[in-house]
């Protein structure tokens, strides 16, 4: 017999209670891990999108707020109010490159996809795109579509097939190499075709600006504002405000998970308190056999620690599984659509952290019951029937 074996025998003597207490911890830790891992991949995805935009400044419609900034990074539909004259004025400023985008949505096989109107040559250069199949827009006005890699695969589209957008069959010209970002899930059209399909007379959603001298980015923001009456944000501001929204969502989710963990912790307290009452006489017998208080304390503390250990492992597995399964399904919402197509990554540090955290929580929960058990006087315990 070892203390560890004795703990395991005690742990499993009430199977039902053991399972239900453990489930509480697994669910609490599982939701915590799932939210953490979703939040973590969301954040890195946003950072990747911001980099993929290849811009230092973004010109948005007047009065746009954080929602539009999120939409730019996620590829949501945006109000299209920036006129051709405004675009031309911005593009006339020397020392920077300005590229307009028209951000729209369409559906393929009833699943929503992003549709982007672009300036083919310039966008390709700025984004550093490569083709994996077919050819790219031969001219700035070619009536065809170039597809993101994941989208092409999802809907089994290849050069030569057609894709229906706004009721019109558009020939697929080519497929881009995978970028790891939302471009993989986007249909790209040359600007004139996009504007015609979406009935936007020469208007665009936003303009991405890359300045030649990054240290003068504020100066260029002012220059743009002098020329046109539109909103200008730097990529850092945009990243900051989007991350803070995502952060708020994350914190909220994690608070919910924390409540679940707290409830599970009280489940452990409850189970262990019940165990100390049930085993009152056995505690007395152990004391009569010569077990010091410290041994009784350890016996009970270890028992609750094991709930945390097993619950942490189970919760980590469940949480990661849930985040992998859930990721593609929660993509309809602007704030979470980054996760779409991306795998929730399994972070070993987080896994170990979750198990340690859960064990710690369980041990703290077990402190009071273990202390109560160890404080029993032998005679009181032995007289209990």
Partner 1 sequence: MSDAIIKTVQLTKEYGRGATLTRALRGVDLEIPRGSFTCIIGPSGHGKSTLMHLIGGLDRPSGGSVIIDGQQISSLSEKGLAALRASKIGFVFQFFNLLQSLTAAENIETALMLAGVPEAKQKPRALELLELVGLSEKADSKPGQLSGGQQQRVAIARALANDPPVLLMDEPTGNLDSAAEAEVMAVLEELNKKGKTVILVTHSSEIAARAGNLVRVRDGQIEAA
Task: Tell me which residues touch partner 1 (CB under 8 A).
Answer: 1-3, 6, 9-10, 13, 281-282, 285-295, 377-379, 382, 385
In the structure encoding, which two tokens stand for residue 319, read together? 């949480």
Closest distance to partner 1 from the beta carbon of 372 (Å):
16
Q: Report the nearest approach of partner 1 to the CB of residue 286 (Å).
A: 7
Q: Which residues of 57-87 are buried (b: 16+ CB within 10 A; e: fewer)?
A: bbbbbeebeeebbbbbbbbbbbebbbeeebb
Residues 120, 140 contacting (CB under 8 angstroms): yes
Residue (13 or 111) nearer to partner 1, CB:
13
Find the shortest distance in angstroms from Cβ 250 to partner 1: 44
How many CA atoms lie within 13 Å of 39's alpha carbon, on the beta-carbon side? 22
Question: Closest CB to partner 1 among 195 and 374?
Answer: 374
Q: How far is the CB of 332 from partner 1 (least distance, A)?
A: 52
Rank residues 65 and 379 by Cβ distance to partner 1 and give the closer one. 379
**To the nearest whole angstrom, how small is the minimum distance from the Cβ of residue 10 to partner 1?**
6
Query: What is d(CA 337, CA 42) in angstroms, rounded to the nearest whole number?
Result: 9
The answer to whether the CB of 224 falls within 8 A of the CB of 150 is no
Q: What 8-state DSSP symbol labels residue 234?
A: E
How far from chain centre, in Å, is Cα 226?
38
Q: Supply the minimum distance, in Å, between the C-beta of residue 22 and partner 1.
A: 18
For partner 1, give the closer residue by CB, 215 or 385. 385
In 3D, which of 312, 316, 288, 319 has the Cα closest to residue 361?
312
Smaller CB separation from partner 1, 192 or 378: 378
Cα(first)–Cα(last) distance of the chain, in Å? Answer: 26
**Helix axis angle, 235-278 to 15-52, nearest 10°:** 170
For partner 1, the closer CB: 115 or 381: 381
């Amino acid at each position: 017999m070892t203390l560890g074996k004795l703990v395991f025998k005690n742990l499993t003597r009430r199977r039902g209670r053991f399972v239900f207490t453990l489930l509480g911890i697994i669910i609490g830790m599982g939701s915590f891990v799932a939210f953490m891992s979703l939040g973590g991949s969301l954040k890195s995805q946003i950072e990747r999108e911001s980099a993929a935009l290849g811009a230092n400044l973004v010109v948005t419609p007047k009065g746009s707020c954080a929602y539009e900034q999120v939409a730019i990074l996620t590829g949501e539909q945006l109000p299209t109010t920036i006129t051709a004259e405004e675009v031309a004025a911005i593009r006339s400023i020397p020392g920077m490159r300005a590229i307009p985008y028209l951000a729209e949505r369409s559906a393929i096989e009833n699943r929503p996809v992003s549709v982007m109107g672009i300036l083919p040559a310039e966008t390709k250069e700025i984004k550093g795109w490569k083709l994996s199949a077919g050819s790219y827009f031969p001219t700035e006005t070619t009536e065809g579509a170039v597809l993101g890699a994941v989208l092409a695969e999802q809907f089994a589209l290849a050069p030569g097939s057609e894709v229906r957008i706004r009721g019109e069959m558009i020939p697929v010209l080519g497929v881009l190499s995978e970028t790891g970002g939302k471009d993989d899930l986007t249909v790209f059209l040359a600007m004139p075709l996009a504007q015609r399909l979406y009935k936007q007379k020469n208007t665009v959603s936003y303009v991405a600006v890359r300045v030649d001298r990054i240290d003068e980015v504020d100066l260029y923001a002012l220059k743009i504002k002098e020329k046109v009456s539109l909103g200008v944000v730097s990529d850092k501001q945009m990243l900051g405000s989007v991350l803070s929204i995502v952060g708020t969502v994350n914190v909220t989710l994690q608070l919910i998970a924390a409540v679940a963990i707290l409830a599970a912790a009280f489940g452990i307290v409850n189970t262990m308190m019940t165990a100390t009452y049930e085993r009152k006489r056995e505690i007395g017998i152990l004391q009569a056999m010569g077990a010091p208080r410290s041994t009784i304390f350890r016996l009970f503390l270890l028992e609750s620690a094991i709930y945390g250990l097993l619950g942490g492992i189970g919760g980590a597995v469940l949480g990661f599984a849930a985040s992998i399964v859930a990721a593609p399904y929660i993509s309809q919402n602007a704030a979470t659509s980054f996760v779409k197509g991306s795998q929730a990554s399994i972070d070993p540090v987080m896994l170990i952290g979750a198990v340690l955290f859960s064990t710690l929580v369980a041990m703290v929960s077990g402190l009071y019951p273990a202390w109560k058990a160890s404080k029993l006087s032998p005679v009181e315990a032995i007289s209990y029937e």
